[in-house]
Amino acid sequence: MATSKGMNGTHTESTPPAGLRGQTVETSHGLADDPDFLDPVGHRPPLILGAPSFHDVTEAVARPLERPPTRAWWACLLASLALLGLLGVSIGWLFWEGIGVWGLNNPVGWAFDITNFVFWVGIGHAGTLISAILFLFRQKWRTSINRAAEAMTLFAVMCALIFPGIHVGRPWVAYWMFPIPNQMGMWPQFRSPLMWDVFAVSIYGSVSLLFWYVGLVPDLATIRDRSKGLRRMIFGAFALGWRSSMRHWQHYEKAYLILAGLATPLVLSVHSIVSMDFATSQLPGWHTTIFPPYFVAGAIFSGFAMVVTLMVIMRKAFGLEHIITMKHFDYMAKIMLLTGMMVGYAYGLEFFIAWFSGSAYEVFTFKNRAFGPYAWAYWTMVSCNVFLPQLFWFKKVRSSLVWLFILSIFVNVGMWFERFVIIVTSLHRDFLPSSWFYFRPSLFDVTTMIGAFGLFFTMFCLFVRFVPIVAAAEVKSVLPQAAAHPNEAPEIEPALPGRTDLLPGGAR
């Protein structure tokens, strides 16, 4: 029987020695006592370092909320609020003056606005990938980062939702986007991908919020049980009276599994639908069938870059080095390498099929993309998204926080440029050469773009202050001492001639 450790890491039961009876070696492999079981070939080290007890995890997660805020936090919050103010001013001026304050021109009717929209929706996707898809793939390392990544998803969706709202120019009729008839009895145009977007992104936001909140409930109860007075009441109300009941956990785990099962196709559908804003058109460079999976891969790519950027800062600021370990960064770097190559595959295929199609328009658009007036943007994109991430092949790069941080910023930049390249290069030289125009962003294009980061980081600062930033209950469940009944694996015996008595007889 294998060992189980008590809550303070002490052995409460000892391992009987593995018996040696003649030729028959009978050992049991328990999760708790056999390091080889977790890591038979040196590539699966413990997820959480320093063998913390359950209580240590609670402390590590709850302490940042219970300490008075640090000066660094205030500095971050104020800087973010300043940027948020900039966003407010930019949007206010936009509403006052109209869309003319942006650098849009006749062929380029979409530029920074929709670039920002797609960029932010994409950022959100890593959160859902971590919370849902990696959950379905039983990737337990996700537990250390899923809470923060899901929060990132929510805030990114908030940033994204600003842009379709403001780019129509007449915000007072924004309700035309809702599925209700207007004063003329007319309904929204359900055949339009822009309408699908409204549904996809708002439902994505809602489901992500539900997922996030469900994950939070046990941790809110943890904070409730550690605090007094008003704080206890507030956290108690949000914890809904959670009492860690196993009968509750049973439905809870099922709900979590269902949410993961639903969020997985949801996240694929959301960026697929975003891609259809472009791909359902007949515009060369926009209309190509690989867009849905290509956009999804790009979204996950950019989202992971943002997770890495944030986690490098967060683990340092809150001393979570033993929970968010270098192993986590290693995995995230590998996912970036994979998804970066997927977008590289799509870039290449787009060019090949543009040529293969034999369509003069397709060929022109792609030549123009790579060698036209926006070649600088195109090659920025390719360098940041395809060339630079190749550095992640090297273990040294994957295990250096400096490299990871720098490369993650490059990927964020590159993925922003990807959307810019797709949107602007296809528009700026349309079918009528007399209307060709070069898009230049105006000051307000830039302030709105930067201001959105203000919203994102303001929300993130508030999040790290008021909400448990690591899913404590989930991290506890992947600690080795969490296993209640270690499994025994049968030992595979060497073939011994004539020892048929070793064959397990009774079992079917």
Partner 1 sequence: MSAPHHSGGTGPRPASLHTDALHLPPGHSWHRLPTVGLTLAAVGLGGSLAFGLLGGTEARHQLWHSWLVGSLFVLGISLGALFFVLVQHATQAGWSIVVRRLAENVMGALPYLALLFVPLAVLGLGDLFHWSHPEAVQSDPLLQHKAAYLNVPFFLIRTFASFAIWSVLAVWFSRQSRLQDETGDHEITRRMRRRSAPALILFALTVTFFAFDWLMSLDPHWYSTIFGLYFFAGSVMSFFAVLALVALAAKRQGLLTLVLSDEHQHDVGKLLFAFVAFWAYMAFSQYLLIWYANLPEETSFFAKRMVGTWSIAGTVLALGHFIVPFFFLLPRTIKRNATALRLAALWLLAMHLLDLHWLVMPNLHPAGMAPGLLDALTLIGCCGVFLAAFGGALKRRALVPLRDPRLPESLTFENV
Partner 2 sequence: MSFLTGLLRPSLPPGEHFGLLAEFTSPAELYHACEGVRDAGYTRWDAHAPFPVHGLERAMGLRASRLPWVSLLLALGGGITGMGLQGWVSTLAYPLVISGKPFFSWPAFVPVTFELAVLGGALGAVFGMFAMNQLPTLHHPLFNSQAFERASDDGFFLSIESWDPQFNPDRTADLLRRLGAKEVELIASAPRQAPALGGATE
Out of partner 2, partner 1, none, what residue 206 binds, judged by CB under 5 to 8 A for its kind, is partner 2
Given a contact cutoff of 8 angstroms between Cβ atoms, the answer to whether 277 and 193 are in contact is yes
Q: Which stretch binds partner 2 (CB under 8 A): 400-408, 433-441, 459-467, 472-480?
A: 472-480
CA distance 150 to 164: 22
Burial group, residue 79, by CB count within 10 angstroms (0-12, 13-18, 19+): middle
Structure tokens at 350: 């787009």
Taking CB within 5 to 8 Å according to partner kind, which of partner 1, partner 2, none is near residue 408?
none
Q: Which residues make beta-bridge pairs with 26?
A: 19
Q: Is 23 in the site for partner 2 (CB under 8 A)?
A: no
63 binds partner 2 (CB under 8 A): no
- Residue 410's alpha-carbon distances to 310, 315, 374, in angstroms, are 14, 21, 19
Amino acid found at 244: S
Q: With contact defined as beta carbons under 8 Å apart, do 157 and 205 qualify? A: yes
* Residue 229 in contact with partner 1, rule: CB under 8 A: no
In the list 262, 342, 375, 386, the residue contacting partner 2 (rule: CB under 8 A) is 262
- Nearest Cα residue to 289 out of 349, 376, 227: 349
Q: Could you tell which of partner 2, partner 1, none binds residue 356, using a CB distance below 5 to 8 A set by kind? A: partner 1
Contacts (CB under 8 A) with partner 1, residues 87-106: none
138's CB contacts (< 8 A; 6+ apart) are none
Cβ(201)–Cβ(121) below 8 Å:
yes
Q: Using CB under 8 A, which residues numbered 273 to 332 contact partner 1? A: 276, 279-282, 287-293
Decide: 136 and 39 in contact? Cβ < 8 Å: no
- Closer to partner 1 by CB, 94 or 276: give it: 276
Residue 19 has a CB neighbour count (10 Å cut-off) of: 9
230 is a contact residue toward partner 2 (CB under 8 A): no
Of the candidate spans 4-12, 110-118, 363-371, 443-451, the one that interacts with partner 2 by CB under 8 A turns out to be: 4-12
Q: Does 507 bind partner 1 (CB under 8 A)?
A: yes
78 binds partner 2 (CB under 8 A): no
Binding of residue 29 to partner 1 (CB under 8 A): yes
Which residues inside 297-356 make contact with partner 2, applying CB under 8 A?
none
Decide if residue 346 touches partner 1 (CB under 8 A).
yes
Residue in 272, 365, 448, 458 binding partner 1, rule: CB under 8 A: 272
CB of 137 to partner 1, least distance (A): 8
13 counts as binding partner 1 under rule CB under 8 A: no
Residue selected from 36, 253, 321, 493 as contacting partner 2 according to rule CB under 8 A: 253
| Identified binder of partner 1 from the candidate list 3, 4, 5, 28, rule CB under 8 A | 28
Calculate the CA dihedral of residues 315, 321, 323, 325 and round it to 10 degrees.
100
Fill in the amino acid letter for 243: R
Question: Nearest to residue 299, comparing CAs of 321, 250, 266, 326?
Answer: 266
- Check binding of 353 to partner 1 (CB under 8 A): yes
User: Which CB sits closer to partner 2, 31 or 313?
Assistant: 31
Q: How far apart are CA 421 and CA 419, in angstroms?
A: 5
Among 17, 185, 229, 504, binds partner 2 (CB under 8 A): 185
Helix axes 193-226, 246-279, angle to 10 degrees: 150
Do the Cβ atoms of 339 and 122 come closer than 8 Å?
Answer: no
Task: Determine if 6 is a binding residue for partner 1 (CB under 8 A).
Answer: no
Question: Which single residue is written with the structure tokens 């997922």?
Answer: 211
- The DSSP code for 425 is I
Question: Which residue, 39 or 97, is less far from partner 1 as judged by CB?
Answer: 39
Q: What gap in Å lies between CA 136 and CA 330, rounded to an integer?
A: 20
CB 314 within 8 A of CB 320: yes
207 binds, among partner 1, partner 2, none (CB under 5 to 8 A by kind): partner 2
Please state, in angstroms and rounded to a whole number, the distance separating the CA atoms of residues 255 and 211: 9
Give the one entry of partner 2, partner 1, none that residue 199 binds, where binding means its C-beta sits below a cut-off of 5 to 8 angstroms depending on kind.
partner 2
Site for partner 2 in 186-205 (CB under 8 A): 186-187, 189-193, 195-196, 199-200, 203
Q: Is 482 in the site for partner 2 (CB under 8 A)?
A: yes
Residues near partner 1 (CB under 8 A) are 1, 24-26, 28-29, 36-37, 40-44, 138, 253, 257, 265, 268, 272, 276, 279-282, 287-293, 341, 345-346, 349-350, 353, 356-359, 485, 487-496, 499-500, 502-504, 506-508
